[in-house]
Amino acid sequence: MLMVSTRVALIYRGASERLIHKTLINKIMMARRIHSRRLDGVEKNIWVEFTQLAADYKVVNLGQGFPDFLPPKFIQDAFCKAVSGGCPMHQYTRAFGHPSLVAILAKFFSRIVGHEIHPMEDVLVTVGAYQALFCTFQALVDEGDEVIIIEPSFDCYQPMVKMAGGKAVFVPLRPSGGSSKALSSGDWVLSAEELASKFSPKTKAVVINTPNNPTGKVYKAEELQMIADLCVEHDVVCISDEVYEWLTYDGREHVKIASLPGMWERTITIGSAGKTFSATGWKVGWAIGSKDIMKHLKTVHQNSVYHCATAAQEAVAEGFQVEYDRFGSPESYFKELPKRLQIKRDKLALCLESVGLQPIKPEGGYFMIADISAVKFDFNDTSSQDEPHDFRFVKWLIKEKGLATIPVSAFYSLEHSKDFENYVRFCFTKEDSTLDAAEEILKKWGKEK
C-alpha cells in the first residue's frame, strides 16, 4: 500500500505532467497556421483604417460615404411605426425577405426593368448591398473561376472573389485623352477591345458598378450594351452594383443592364436602402435576378445570415410604397435628393478648383475624385513613407489640416494602382455646414501655399 502522502504526490505529478503535455500541445497548435488561406492578402481595409484615423483626429469628414443629415421624415416615421407595430415586428420574418418588402421591390423594379419580377423567387433581401455581393460571389464562384472587375471599383469585390476561391481579373477605366483632359467622370472610358481580351474559358462573371464609386461614372446605354454583348457571347453572368441608382446629375439617366435584351436571365442587380433613403446604418440591401440564379444566393443566405432585421425591412417597404405612388413626380425623394446633391457637388468642385485640386465632375453617385498631382505637401510622417502618394496625402490632410478624404489607388488592383496614385475621393452627401467647414480648411491651406 502506498503511503497517503506518496499517493497525493503521484496525483500531483500526474496532473502536472498532463498540464505540461497540454501546454506543449497548445504550443504546437499556436505554431500551426490558424487562419484560412482565403484570408491571405485581404486583411487590410481602407474603411477600417481611415474611418478610425478620421475619428482619432476629430476632423471634418468627407471620407467615408454616408450622409451626415437625417433620412427623410417619411422613412423615419415608417421605422418608428414599424418598431411600435407589435410583436411580429420584433421577431424573425421570412428568411429571404419580409413579405411586404419583397412585394414592393418586385413591383417597383418590374416597372423599370420591363420584366415581371416575382417577389418570392427573384428577390433576396440582405444585410446591406455588402451581403448581397457576398452571397453572389459565394454562390457563383468556384475554385479557379475568373471574375472580371472594371476598376476603379468598390474595394470589397476583389476580397470577396478571393474568399470564394476565384481570381479577379481587372480592366481599368481610362481617362480619355489623358488625365489633364478628362474633367468629367464621363471621360473615363472602358475600351471594348481591352475588356474583350480579358475573357477566358474560366470567366464566370463580370462586375459593373453604375453610378460608379469612386468616379461617379454613369454608364451610357451603348457602353452597357457592349458589356452585355460580351456577357452573352461568353455566356457569363453580370453582377451589377447599382446602389447609387437614384443619384444622377445634369439630366443623365441611369440604365439598368438587366433591362437590355437577353440580360434579365444573366444579371444580378444589387441595391441598397442605405443609399436609397440616406440611412446607411439600417443595412438593408437586396439582390434581384432570375430565380435560377437567385436560388443559389438564397442557399448562401439561409446558411449564414438567415434573415435581416424585420422592422427595418418593414420600414423600407413602406418607404418604397410611398415612392411608388409618387414615382417621377417632383416630390419624389428619388428626384429631390439628386437635385440637392447636385448643388453640393458644384459647390465642392468650385472649392477644389480654387485650391489647385482638379476635380473630375461626377455624373452620379455622391463622390468626387480630384487630381492632386499639382499640389505639394511636406509630410514628415516616417510611418507612412513607403505608402502610395495618395495615401500619404490623405494622412497629411487628416493629421495636419483636419480634413478626411479617401485615397483613390485603394480602388485599384496592384496591377494598375501605381497609375492612379494622384487622386483622392471627396464625399459630398453632407450638410452645407460640413462642406463649408471643409472649404474653410482648403481655402486656409490655399493661402498658406
What are 121's three cell numbers?
423567387
- 8 A C-beta contact, residue 270 and residue 99: no
Nearer to ligand GLN, 119 or 216 (CB): 216
Please work out, in degrees rounded to the nearest 5, the angle formed at the alpha carbon of residue 57 by the alpha carbons of 156 and 366. 45
For residue 410, give the amino acid letter: A
| String of contacts with ligand GLN for each residue 31-50, x by CB under 6 A | ----------------x---
Nearer to ligand GLN, 47 or 199 (CB): 47
| String of contacts with ligand PMP for each residue 151-170, x by CB under 6 A | ---x----------------
Q: How far is CA 62 from the centre of its chain?
A: 16
48/370 Cα distance (integer angstroms): 22
169/79 Cα distance (integer angstroms): 41
Report the candidate in 348, 284, 277, 242 with the shortest Cα–Cα distance to residue 67. Answer: 277
Site for ligand GLN in 59-98 (CB under 6 A): 64-65
Verify binding: residue 203, ligand PMP, rule CB under 6 A.
Answer: no
Q: How many C-beta atoms surround the C-beta of residue 145 within 10 A?
A: 18
Nearer to ligand GLN, 71 or 119 (CB): 71
Verify binding: residue 213, ligand GLN, rule CB under 6 A.
Answer: yes
Q: How far is CA 249 from the centre of its chain?
A: 20
Verify binding: residue 53, ligand GLN, rule CB under 6 A.
Answer: no
Q: Which of 67, 71, 97, 128 binds ligand PMP (CB under 6 A)?
A: 128
Nearer to ligand GLN, 290 or 409 (CB): 409
What are 220's three cell numbers?
451610357
**Which residue minimizes CB distance to ligand GLN?**
65
Verify binding: residue 365, ligand GLN, rule CB under 6 A.
Answer: no
Verify binding: residue 308, ligand PMP, rule CB under 6 A.
Answer: no
Verify binding: residue 108, ligand GLN, rule CB under 6 A.
Answer: no
Nearer to ligand GLN, 393 or 428 (CB): 428
* CA dist 11 → 5, 7, 21, 79, 363 (Å): 10, 6, 15, 63, 77
How many residues make up the chain in this entry? Answer: 449
Report the candidate in 316, 304, 368 with the shortest Cα–Cα distance to residue 341. Answer: 368
CB of 261 to ligand PMP, least distance (A): 26
Verify binding: residue 333, ligand PMP, rule CB under 6 A.
Answer: no
Nearer to ligand PMP, 223 or 439 (CB): 223
CB of 316 to ligand PMP, least distance (A): 11
CB of 184 to ligand GLN, least distance (A): 20
Verify binding: residue 63, ligand PMP, rule CB under 6 A.
Answer: no
- Bridge partners, 167 (sequence order): 146
Beta strands in 222-380 (DSSP E): 237-241, 267-272, 284-288, 358-360, 367-371
Nearer to ligand PMP, 154 or 393 (CB): 154
Verify binding: residue 302, ligand GLN, rule CB under 6 A.
Answer: no
CB of 254 to ligand GLN, least distance (A): 18
248/334 Cα distance (integer angstroms): 10
CB of 235 to ligand PMP, least distance (A): 25
Report the candidate in 359, 360, 395, 403 with the shortest Cα–Cα distance to residue 377. Answer: 395
| String of contacts with ligand PMP for each residue 11-50, x by CB under 6 A | ----------------------------------------
Site for ligand PMP in 278-297 (CB under 6 A): 280, 285
Task: State phi, psi for 335 to the nearest 5 degrees.
Answer: -100, -40
- 8 A C-beta contact, residue 320 and residue 105: yes
Report the candidate in 433, 428, 430, 402 with the shortest Cα–Cα distance to residue 54. Answer: 402
Verify binding: residue 130, ligand PMP, rule CB under 6 A.
Answer: yes
Residues forming the site for ligand PMP (CB under 6 A): 65, 128-130, 154, 209, 213, 241, 243, 272, 274, 280, 285
Residues forming the site for ligand GLN (CB under 6 A): 47, 64-65, 213
